[in-house]
Structure 1
């Protein structure tokens, strides 16, 4: 029905008898409708009919049976149903507004937008967007497999993809959610009355609230997933390995319970992390710093022997974790209220050969320095950050 309407209608002809204000309003509604068509037909349905359907057919034949379709495509089928339902209802409203005879009286534009945005569109898109980062991470973990790579390449060669890759299509629902406020504001600016404009503005606020709520959930979920992965990658050495002066007989070591890293970092927010260089015993070592909301961890990077490849200086934590690196805690966590930071000026830095360097001092409750770390940043910008 939607395709037939798009093929047969001429929007300029249908709106030619409108006054200028109504013409602009109908034009804004038409933009909302046609952009939803592009989203539904060229993005959602391509994902469903080309990628998801092909993967499902392969799995029915015992190929790629271990690939989790939900982790890749989440609630894609639900997205398609919601978008198609919105399109057909919007089409009904457009036909009525253009005085095209249609059986039965449908909802007004405002009623439709309130119902669709509040009851289905935002909720459905939120569910998809919360899985998006997981989908990309999962896609990256599969792309090295020859069988999965062949499946993706075969799908991407389909003419329906129009040279778009799977990753390009997966991001479409996120982009659509952020575009709704712009399209709805455009309709609101061309409203017939102030009441109608105010009502449309309330719809826009619903979408904006949904986006803000989603941003908060995504940040929380990203932090939760990152901390969960980090918990398994952190290594806390026992006291007799951290301090060579500590002598603990073998038969007594069991009395010193190992630290529970889950208790150390669980329910904490990771504010910032990054790789620096530590000067220690006239040698340079790669270290990774983790700044939580109440303490700082300085760790040494231990690379997986199976993946000895040196990573770039600005490599992100996600990639380090994927490479199987672990992070050995150098010292006890530095509480932020016991931390002193001293920048090394350019003159002293040049004299000591430590450019872009600074010192982190750990103080005890008596204001005595109990540990110091001289760190170098790869650039002045990173140092300031």
Structure 2
């Protein structure tokens, strides 16, 4: 019964023009503005119907099969994420924001007023919180679905059956699961279109403020997704590191003491940067290294945002071991040498005194130059991140006294 009632709410007029007694009396600009508002409302109703196909057909169908003991190995959350929360938020947005806009126009037989949307879109960030999880998990859900379609014949049969249903409108499950992210990115475009066609300055400002709120949220989601991807990349690289053998003990007793400290966590946060920043890999590759008067050795180096790792491949496994202390990039001096493709890294301590020097030889002058450039770029980027973090911390400190004063 509840579903029918909600479904009825989605029934809207064929056109905004039927809301008015005399739509022809509108100016061309007003006409275009009404078209833009109607597109937002109409596409929202259509979108909710598509979401319901996911929950009422695909998800419910799966749950029904599982009640009968079929496809119990499929975890709904791994396939559909929090789609039900997404449906709830849109049903709420529709009932609390969109319907009142329509009702006011119906009752007054007047044009749709875009400012009446403000209440709903000014709280976009809190309303649309479920999208953070959905967007974060979208890729893994898609991958899980592809794996199931490939490996599970019964699941494939079930999805194929569901996709033939009329309400799917020839869309595949993958297409539907991509809809939420697509819809999210459409809101700024729809609202900008309304703002562009709104002549009244205060109304236009209100719609423009809604655009800013929505874009801020989308940027935040994108930022979190990028961070997640970077962390996943970093975790993959971290898994390749077999051991930390930068320091050797002189005896068994010393080895026991060293054991506690002979490790390195690549996933640990970077020092002096925002917690939101993730260490990124800038360059990796094989080089020949010479330290002091020792003969050259084959090494494999990883250059990250804030550090350089010197490693050696471990035989018979696709892993590496760290053979020198991790070099913090801001303590590194990099100089090109006369031999083509060679460069030296001088490592400085807190007193700016040299504590180590490593000469590297690349396979070619071009490759050597690419390492030098990459190290220089990483240092510049890290400096920017440090500066940004200092400014961020200063901003926090500035705001603290202001907030205390307000409380008083």
1:110 aligned partner: 115
> Which deviations, in whole Å up to 9, do the C-alpha atoms of 1:148-198 show, x marking residues without a partner?
475257425613545555444333222222221221122123335212111
Aligned match of 1:257 in 259, 262, 271?
259
In the alignment of these two chains, the number of paired residues is: 341
Please tell me whether residue 363 in structure 1 is matched to residue 365 in structure 2.
no
> Which deviations, in whole Å up to 9, do the C-alpha atoms of 1:306-332 show, x marking residues without a partner?
xxxxxxxxxxxxxxxxxxx54432422
Indicate conservation of the 8 Å contact 1:50/1:155, yes or no: no
Q: Please report how far the alpha carbon of residue 203 of structure 1 lies from its aligned counterpart in structure 2 after TM superposition.
A: 1.6
TM-score of the two chains, using structure 2 as the length reference: 0.66
TM-score of the two chains, using structure 1 as the length reference: 0.70
Q: Please report how far the alpha carbon of residue 205 of structure 1 lies from its aligned counterpart in structure 2 after TM superposition.
A: 1.8
Please tell me whether residue 297 in structure 1 is matched to residue 309 in structure 2.
yes
Q: Please report how far the alpha carbon of residue 67 of structure 1 lies from its aligned counterpart in structure 2 after TM superposition.
A: 4.1
Q: Please report how far the alpha carbon of residue 24 of structure 1 lies from its aligned counterpart in structure 2 after TM superposition.
A: 1.7
Please tell me whether residue 47 in structure 1 is matched to residue 47 in structure 2.
no
Please tell me whether residue 127 in structure 1 is matched to residue 130 in structure 2.
yes
1:278 aligned partner: 287
Secondary structure class of the residue paired with 1:29: helix
Secondary structure class of the residue paired with 1:278: strand
Matches within 5 A, 1:165-176: 165-176=172-183
Gap change, CA 1:61 and 1:277, over 3 Å in 2? farther
Structure 2 unaligned blocks of 5 or more: 1-7, 271-277, 290-294, 375-408
Gap change, CA 1:276 and 1:336, over 3 Å in 2? same
Gap change, CA 1:58 and 1:362, over 3 Å in 2? farther
C-alpha distance in 2 between matches for 1:134 and 1:3: 28
Q: Please report how far the alpha carbon of residue 304 of structure 1 lies from its aligned counterpart in structure 2 after TM superposition.
A: 8.7
Gap change, CA 1:276 and 1:86, over 3 Å in 2? same
Q: Please report how far the alpha carbon of residue 29 of structure 1 lies from its aligned counterpart in structure 2 after TM superposition.
A: 0.7
Q: Which moved more, 1:151-160 or 1:187-196?
A: 151-160
Please tell me whether residue 198 in structure 1 is matched to residue 201 in structure 2.
no
Secondary structure class of the residue paired with 1:171: helix
Secondary structure class of the residue paired with 2:333: strand
Structure 1 unaligned blocks of 5 or more: 306-324, 350-356
Please tell me whether residue 373 in structure 1 is matched to residue 360 in structure 2.
yes
C-alpha distance in 2 between matches for 1:47 and 1:12: 32
Indicate conservation of the 8 Å contact 2:36/2:190, yes or no: yes
> Which deviations, in whole Å up to 9, do the C-alpha atoms of 1:8-59 show, x marking residues without a partner?
x2455666334123212211111111222332223x2333234322332343
Gap change, CA 1:35 and 1:302, over 3 Å in 2? farther
Secondary structure class of the residue paired with 1:17: helix
C-alpha distance in 2 between matches for 1:297 and 1:75: 39
1:308 aligned partner: none
> Which deviations, in whole Å up to 9, do the C-alpha atoms of 1:322-363 show, x marking residues without a partner?
xxx544324221121332335689xx65xxxxxxx5646243
C-alpha distance in 2 between matches for 1:93 and 1:115: 11
